[in-house]
């Protein structure tokens, strides 16, 4: 157990639907990062939150949004899902940029 908890582990849903992925960071970590890994695009950075505020944004689609709550857990919301959104979604946490990162085990999303 890395200390970063992601739920659910697997998710199958239909096109057009909306899903929410959840991440609980390691105790003491203030930063949460979201990544997408698809077969054709590899790993891509989506977004980072630090202590409740958005700090950095990567290749995140407008249909996707995220937030970090006061207890520091984070949720990634994916809406109007398309087949191409099928991927592994990873969350990682760290104390801040200059500290090591710990990854969660990922959520495998399949859009059918």
Partner 1 sequence: KNEVEQSPQNLTAQEGEFITINCSYSVGISALHWLQQHPGGGIVSLFMLSSGKKKHGRLIATINIQEKHSSLHITASHPRDSAVYICATLLYNFNKFYFGSGTKLNVKP
* The only residue of 27, 53, 83, 100 in contact with partner 1, by rule CB under 8 A: 100
Say if residue 69 is preceded by a cis peptide, omega within 30 of 0.
no
Q: Is 27 in the site for partner 1 (CB under 8 A)?
A: no
In whole angstroms, give the CA distance from residue 33 to residue 100.
12
Which of 3, 38, 75, 103 is in the footprint of partner 1 by CB under 8 A?
103
- How many Å apart are CA 79 and CA 64, to the nearest integer? 6
Q: By C-beta, is 72 or 93 nearer to partner 1? A: 93
- Of the CA atoms within 13 Å of residue 52, those in its CB half-sphere come to 3
| Nearer to partner 1 among residue 69 and residue 99 (C-beta) | 99
Dist CA 35 CA 77 (whole Å): 13
Binding residue for partner 1 (CB under 8 A) from 22, 55, 73, 95? 55
Closest approach, Cβ 56 to partner 1, in A, equals: 4
Nearer CB in complex with partner 1: 86/101 = 101
From 63, 78, 100, select the one nearest 22 (Cα to Cα).
Answer: 78
Q: Which of 13, 45, 60, 61 binds partner 1 (CB under 8 A)?
A: 45
């Amino acid at each position: 157990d890395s200390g970063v908890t992601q739920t659910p582990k697997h998710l199958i849903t239909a096109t057009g639907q909306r899903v929410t992925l959840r991440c609980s960071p390691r105790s003491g970590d203030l930063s949460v990062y979201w990544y997408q890994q698809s077969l054709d695009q590899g790993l891509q950075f989506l977004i980072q939150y630090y202590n409740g505020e958005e700090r950095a944004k990567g290749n995140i689609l407008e249909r996707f949004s995220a937030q970090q709550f006061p207890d520091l857990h984070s949720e990634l919301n994916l809406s109007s899902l398309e087949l191409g959104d099928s991927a592994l979604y990873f969350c990682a946490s760290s104390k801040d940029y200059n500290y090591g990162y710990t990854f969660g085990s990922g959520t495998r999303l399949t859009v059918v």
